[in-house]
Amino acid sequence: MTAISNRYDFSLVFEVTNGNPNGDPDAGNLPRLDPETNKGLVTDVSLKRKVRNFVELAKSGEDGFHIYVEEGAILNEKHRQAYKALHPDDGKLDKAAKLNPKDDREARKLRDFMCMNFFDVRTFGAVMSTGINCGQVKGPVQMTFASSVEPILPLEISITRMAATNEAEKKQKAEGDDSNDRTDNRTMGRKHIVPYGLYVAHGFISAKFAERTGFSETDLELFWQALANMFEHDRAAARGEMASRKLIVFKHANALGNAPAHTLFDLVRIGRNVDGEFRSVDDKRIGNEPPARKFSDYLITIDREKCPDGVEIIEKF
Amino acid sequence: MSYGIRLKVWGDHGCFTRPEMKVERVSYDVMTPSAARGILEAIHWKPAIRWVIDAIHVLEPIRFKSIRRNEVGHKAPAGKIKSAMKRGDLGGLQLLVDEDRQQRAATVLVKPAYVIEAHFELTQKAGADDNEGKHLDIFNRRAERGQCFHQPCLGTREFTAHFELFSPETSLPEAIPDSRDLGFMLWDIDHQAPGRPSMFFRAQMTDGVIRIPQPGSAEVLR
């Protein structure tokens, strides 16, 4: 596997309709908000999780495409039994002091083994407790928090369930209740949704780090695929409808790059669509417009004229 | 002593974690010299040179915000990887996030922007063809074009740093008119010594500028 030899920067635009793209554990699972601007946020780790899940589905255990940081059941339960039989005193493995690699060479071997087998280690990196310079694998792919183009307005939706969790709850309900049967056993719940939000995440792929982890062109294609399809396989009651809408990739002619990343991201402008006319989201005149509720309420323009030499703009979709 | 460089770095967030508050991360008020060094090294570094930070200018008011995320509780154990290598089987090597989850809040900086003033020195490893002019040119060329080894970050990798070089002629942007004692701050980590101890200094912001003590000076405390 030869590593990629170009630096890439990318801008991923995705939308959410009547769903919660990323709940905030600090705010009772409300959609994350930037308190100063009221723009929505989706953390980098949330997006990485979806990429991992997609790769796991797409490659389901193919050699070299395992996922290290997994969710849910382990597919190789059989292996695990064999493993347990081999190491009945697994507890010893946790005493890391004796298990540190002897030298850099061994640490490197461990690292290469992990990179070779696990797609997510190769892509995003991993921290391994090797005790040598933290044994970190820095992955070539780095993502930032996604932030919505305009402020979002989270709605709190109350929902009911026609069942009680347990007997005690049922009793409690019956005591304070003198109405008809229909409300018997009913419990209330809450959902938080964003009616509509268009989010932009920026990402960076370092060719130099790719050399270290062996992140190849094949991996890159798979990664683009994952960005395109990650929401298609992440349907859930909480998510509503999410979709990747646009992926703009800036391919640099060489490994170090040909332009500062921020100038490239500035070439992509997202504004409101007012009767086919582009209006910047800071434009005071859009205050009278109804709130955006669909993707066609936005326009995305790419200023190809200003694209620096040695940078190729690729619209993946 | 070579010519210094001046680099503006900025981003949406930054988290220069205080070593005493690492679990629920709390950022220092300003960028640490060691983070600044990391940014410069992300643009250009060779074993022949060592970056030395001279000053950090704070261009934006110091503001914080809290972000709570689901994180994984453990690192990948080297021992397990080793035994999997021996067995030639990946079973049991995965990390189950939903069984090993920690929710941690991070108190991060909002919209930080700095100017890093720095120079570099040649190290023991410098060969015959390493001279200061060469490395300075390489750095300046890269920084001007926005080239980098990997995209630098403001403390943690999810908080990207954008950067821009100031040529020696241009005047620097105005720092914030704020003076305060920032207390003891991490200066850098001594990677040469066993156990890699941290070194600290007493950070004093004067009109938005923090002067950084030079390596080996008495102000750097171990």
Are the C-beta atoms of residues B104 and B23 closer than 8 Å to each other?
Answer: yes
Which residues, including other chains, have CB under 8 Å from residue A244's CB and lie 6 or more apart? A12, A13, A14, A227, A228, A229, A230, A231, A317
**Which residue numbers in chain B have pLDDT < 50?**
1
Which residues, including other chains, have CB under 8 Å from residue A274's CB and lie 6 or more apart? A285, A286, A289
* A44-59 vs A217-229: helix crossing angle, rounded to 10: 110
> Is the CB of B78 less than 8 angstroms away from the CB of A142?
no
Nearest CA of chain B to the CA of A288: how many Å? 29
Query: To which residue do tokens 């410098």 refer?
Result: B126
Are the C-beta atoms of residues B175 and B18 closer than 8 Å to each other?
Answer: no
User: Per DSSP, what are the bridge partners of residue B47?
Assistant: none
Q: Does B218 touch chain A (CB under 8 A)?
A: no
Mean pLDDT for the stretch of residues A199-212: 95
Nearest to B151 among A70, A78, A206 (CB): A206
CA A233/CA A222 separation, integer angstroms: 15
> Is the CB of B83 less than 8 angstroms away from the CB of A261?
no
DSSP readout, chain A?
-PBP-S-EEEEEEEEEEEE-SSEEGGGTTEEPB-TTT-EEEE-HHHHHHHHHHHHHHHHTT-TT-B-SEE-S--S-HHHHHHHHHH-TTGGGGG-GGGTS-SSHHHHHHHHHHHHHHBHHHHHHEEEEE-SSGGGEEE-SEEE--EEEEEE---EEEEEEESS-SSHHHHHHHHHT--S-GGGTT-EEEEEEEEEEEEEEEEEEE-HHHHHHHT-BHHHHHHHHHHHHHGGGG---TTT-EEEEEEEEEEEESSSS-SS-HHHHHHHEEEEEEETTEEEETT-GGGGGSPPP-SGGGEEEEE-GGGPPTTEEEEE--
Residues of A in contact with B77 (CB under 8 A): 93-94, 96, 99, 128-129
Q: Is the pLDDT of residue A73 over 90?
A: no
Nearest to B76 among A72, A80, A128 (CB): A128
Q: Which two tokens stand for residue A87?
A: 């190491």
> Is the CB of B94 less than 8 angstroms away from the CB of A114?
no
Residues of A in contact with B146 (CB under 8 A): 257-263
Per-residue pLDDT at A75: 41
Per-residue pLDDT at A135: 61
Per-residue pLDDT at B6: 94
Q: Does B193 touch chain A (CB under 8 A)?
A: no
Nearest CA of chain B to the CA of A278: how many Å? 26
- The model's pLDDT over A216-270, given as tens digits with 9 standing for 90+, comes to 999 999 999 999 999 999 999 999 999 999 999 999 999 999 999 999 999 999 9
**Could you say which residues from 146 to 175 on chain B have a Cβ atom under 8 Å away from some Cβ of chain A?**
146-151, 153, 157-160, 162-164
Which residues, including other chains, have CB under 8 Å from residue B106's CB and lie 6 or more apart? B15, B24, B25, B26, B27, B66, B67, B68, B69
> Is the CB of B96 less than 8 angstroms away from the CB of A107?
no
CA B56/CA B33 separation, integer angstroms: 8
Nearest CA of chain B to the CA of A185: how many Å? 31
Mean pLDDT for the stretch of residues A158-186: 70
Per-residue pLDDT at B96: 81
> Is the CB of B151 less than 8 angstroms away from the CB of A261?
yes
* Confidence class for position A177, pLDDT limits 50, 70, 90: low
CA A293/CA B204 separation, integer angstroms: 49
Nearest CA of chain B to the CA of A104: how many Å? 13
Per-residue pLDDT at A83: 41
- The model's pLDDT over A96-148, given as tens digits with 9 standing for 90+, comes to 334 455 567 777 888 888 898 899 999 999 887 755 555 678 899 999 999 99
The Cβ of residue B192 has, within 10 Å, a number of other Cβ atoms equal to 6
> Is the CB of A93 less than 8 angstroms away from the CB of B158?
no
Q: Is the pLDDT of residue A26 over 70?
A: yes
Residues of A in contact with B75 (CB under 8 A): 126-129
B101 to A24, A55, A240, B28, B72: CA distances (angstroms): 15, 21, 25, 26, 5
> Is the CB of B77 less than 8 angstroms away from the CB of A113?
no
Nearest to B81 among A44, A113, A262 (CB): A113
Residues of A in contact with B66 (CB under 8 A): 26
Averaged pLDDT of chain A: 85
Residues of B in contact with A36 (CB under 8 A): 65, 110
Residues of A in contact with B72 (CB under 8 A): 69
Contacts 24+ apart (CB under 8 A), A272-276: A272/A150, A272/A297, A272/A298, A272/A299, A273/A297, A273/A298, A273/A299
- Counting residues of chain A whose pLDDT is more than 70, the rounded percentage is 82
Residues of A in contact with B159 (CB under 8 A): 144
Per-residue pLDDT at A74: 47
Residues of A in contact with B74 (CB under 8 A): 129
Q: What does chain B come to in residues? A: 222
Q: Which residue of B has its CA nearest to A79?
A: B91
> Is the CB of B97 less than 8 angstroms away from the CB of A145?
no
In the three-class reduction of DSSP (H, G, I as helix; E, B as strand; rest coil), residue B38 is classed as helix
Nearest to A110 among B78, B151, B153 (CB): B78
Residues of B in contact with A144 (CB under 8 A): 12, 158-160
> Is the CB of B145 less than 8 angstroms away from the CB of A263?
no
Per-residue pLDDT at B74: 81
Q: Tell how strand A155-161 and strand A241-252 pair up.
A: unpaired
Residues of B in contact with A107 (CB under 8 A): 78
Residues of A in contact with B149 (CB under 8 A): 206, 208, 256
> Is the CB of A113 less than 8 angstroms away from the CB of B94?
no
Nearest CA of chain A to the CA of B186: how many Å? 18
Q: Is the pLDDT of residue A178 over 80?
A: no
> Is the CB of A79 less than 8 angstroms away from the CB of B91?
yes
Nearest to B160 among A96, A113, A144 (CB): A144
DSSP readout, B7-23?
EEEE-SEE--B-TTSTT
Write down the pTM of the prediction: 0.86
Q: What does chain A come to in residues? A: 317
Are the C-beta atoms of residues A266 and A259 closer than 8 Å to each other?
Answer: no
